[in-house]
Amino acid sequence: MIKKTLLIVFILLCLTFTGKATSIITEETPVMMGAYEKALETHKRRCAVEGTEVREREVEEIVYWLHYYSKNREVFKNNRFNHNLDYPQLWKDSLAIVWEESWFVNVRNQDHGTGFGWGALQWATAKDNAKRIFGWDWENESVALPYSNRLQAKYVIGHLLYLHDYYGNRRQAILGYNMGMNIHNKNPWDERYWLKVSIWRRQIDDHLRQP
């Protein structure tokens, strides 16, 4: 069992880290390239403050895989998560959320061990989504999650799709990403998370509109 788990983790990491020589975002995809430039700028600012290494490839993969899973939803299996939800909107919202949560830096241990990664998902939330909602292989994927940008993107987009279905509107889905599944009776001050994500989303939109 241990050997099987290690082999799966190795394969997942190989799929995610495909080497620095080949870029997965090219000039032929200008919108993704623009998003990558903005995300990298943000990532570099946090790295400069913290004195940590800039990881350009990691940022590229975050942008790419968030876009991939926003558009390609077969892995989410349940048809209720494939309703008329505009994939560019979902993708850009996910970028704004990641900006707010981590500034595109993969912090593998978040919230005193209860969360992980650049999407700052809670372990309990990720496990519930994997086992109860989507039927994913949690036992093996959970080992690779903190290290795999592809897996983290799948879990971030999956959770956003679930929140959109649960709340039925974009504002509450974004609030729910930060505050959980019972935001209906929260203090209005808690909507500051929505306001901050909206600011980052506006900056992303403005950057992508530049010639």
105: amino acid identity, one letter: V
In contact, 114 and 121? CB cutoff 8 Å: no
The C-alpha atoms of residue 74 and residue 110 are separated, in whole angstroms, by 29
> So what's the pLDDT on residue 18?
41
The C-alpha atoms of residue 43 and residue 56 are separated, in whole angstroms, by 9
Torsions phi, psi of 122, nearest 5? -80, 140
Torsions phi, psi of 81, nearest 5? -95, 5
Sign of torsion over alpha carbons 155, 151, 50, 37: negative
The C-alpha atoms of residue 47 and residue 187 are separated, in whole angstroms, by 33
Nearest to 129 by CA among 203, 77, 193: 77
SS (H, E, C) 24-79: CCCCCCHHHHHHHHHHHHHHHHHHHHHCCCCCHHHHHHHHHHHHHHHHCCHHHCCH
| Per-residue tokens: 99 | 């900006």
> So what's the pLDDT on residue 112?
83
Nearest to 108 by CA among 116, 100, 99, 96: 116
CATH of domain 28-209: 1.10.530.10
Per-residue pLDDT of the chain (211 residues), as tens digits, is: 554 544 555 545 554 444 444 788 887 789 999 999 999 999 999 999 999 999 999 999 999 999 999 999 889 876 667 666 889 999 999 999 999 999 999 998 887 889 999 999 999 999 999 999 999 999 999 999 999 999 999 999 999 999 999 988 899 999 999 988 877 666 666 788 999 999 999 999 999 986 5
What H or E segment, with its residue span, contains residue 111?
none
